[in-house]
Amino acid sequence: IPVVWDETRVLQGEVGDYILIARRNGDTWYLAAMTDWSSRNLETGLSFLGEGVYQATIFKDGPNADKNASDYLIRNQHVRRNDNVLLNLAPGGGWVAIVSPAN
């Protein structure tokens, strides 16, 4: 994960409740979300992406994440700028995606 960013966007959030941000380094975007002790379902668009197809590697809460913080799933999918992504956050949970142009 880079430590220097070309761009940062806050996509959604409520102070003290949850946040969803997107940060760009070069042509790769890093999205991250976390929530307080309330489970949340968030939906976000990807309009900040450029044209074309992107590969998204997603790290999300697993089915038992509310009881076991190390329970997570990794999923790969192709996305485009007109897609929406649904995030299901467990209580105290989080979500991360690394999105880069598909080859």
Rounded to the nearest integer, the mean pLDDT of the chain is 97
For the whole prediction, is pTM greater than 0.85? yes
Position 85: which residue type? V
Q: What is the mean pLDDT of residues 22-33?
A: 98
Joined tokens for residue 65: 């994440």
- Count CB neighbours of 55 within 10 A: 15
Model confidence over 44-61: pLDDT tens digits? 999 999 999 999 999 999
Q: Are 42 and 67 in contact (CB under 8 A)?
A: no
Q: Is the pLDDT of residue 103 over 90?
A: no
pLDDT class for 21, splitting at 50, 70, 90?
Answer: very high
3-state secondary structure of 48: coil
Name which CATH class applies to 7-101.
mainly beta
Q: What is the pLDDT of residue 102?
A: 96
Q: Are 39 and 28 in contact (CB under 8 A)?
A: no
